[in-house]
Structure formats: C-alpha cells, structure tokens
Amino acid sequence: MTQPLITAEQHAQLLAVGEARANGQSIDPMPVVRLFTPDAHATWLLAALDPTDGDTAYGLIDLGLGMPELGTVKLSDLAGIVGPRQQPVMRDLYFRPTRTLSEYTRAAERDGAIPD
C-alpha cells in the first residue's frame, strides 16, 4: 500500500494558504510538503492548494532539468506519474521546512536545484 501524496493535516494547511492567496493576501508561506520521484530527480515543494478545485497545488517545481521555478501542478496528475523504474511520486516523510517559499526559490534558482 502506498502512502497518500499529502496527509489530511497537510491538505488543510495547503488549503488555508490557498484561500489566503485567493483573497489577495500577499504572503510568503513555508512549504507544507515535499514530493519527489525516487528514480527521476523531480521534486515539488508545495505551499498552497487552490480552494476552488482542491487539486491544483502551487509551489516550487524542479523537474531535474536545472531550471526550478514557481508554478502549479495537479495532485491528481502527480498521483499518476511513475519514473523509469516504475517508482511513483512519494511524499518526503522527513521534510521539515527551514525557510519560506521565496527563500527556497532563490536558492534553487542560484543552485539549479531545490536545496535539501
């Protein structure tokens, strides 16, 4: 049995930030969850979830090409991705954010990858 991409608590945190963003609040949140492909070098640091569909997540996306950027991705799409060795996208159970999303973004743009 695989782990869900996000827990109920993370879903609630992501939605709260998404609602604040939808209401026009200018915020620089801490990422809530780190998702990754264990066999394809892709990483998603997610900080918000669109309250209108509950599926579109916003955060820092690093597809392993040296060009990480802020953007959106659907959790339902991530749930269907498998890497070259048939490994699904997984949640980093040990991820604890140490900086805001903008700080992660600056470091990722400088280094060409999301820092651990």
Whole-number percent of the chain with pLDDT over 90: 82
Q: What sign does the dihedral 28-13-76-91 (CA atoms) show? A: positive
Q: Give mean pLDDT, residues 78-96.
A: 91
The answer to whether residues 102 and 33 touch, using CB atoms and an 8 Å cutoff, is: no
The size of the chain, in residues, is 116
**pTM listed for this prediction:** 0.92
Q: pLDDT tier at 1 (50, 70, 90 boundaries)?
A: very low
Residue pLDDT, tens place only, 11-43: 999 999 999 999 999 899 999 999 999 888 899
Is 48 strand, coil or helix? strand
Q: What is the mean pLDDT of the chain?
A: 93
The answer to whether residues 85 and 71 touch, using CB atoms and an 8 Å cutoff, is: no
Does residue 2 surpass a pLDDT of 70?
Answer: no
Whole-number percent of the chain with pLDDT over 70: 97
Does residue 6 surpass a pLDDT of 50?
Answer: yes
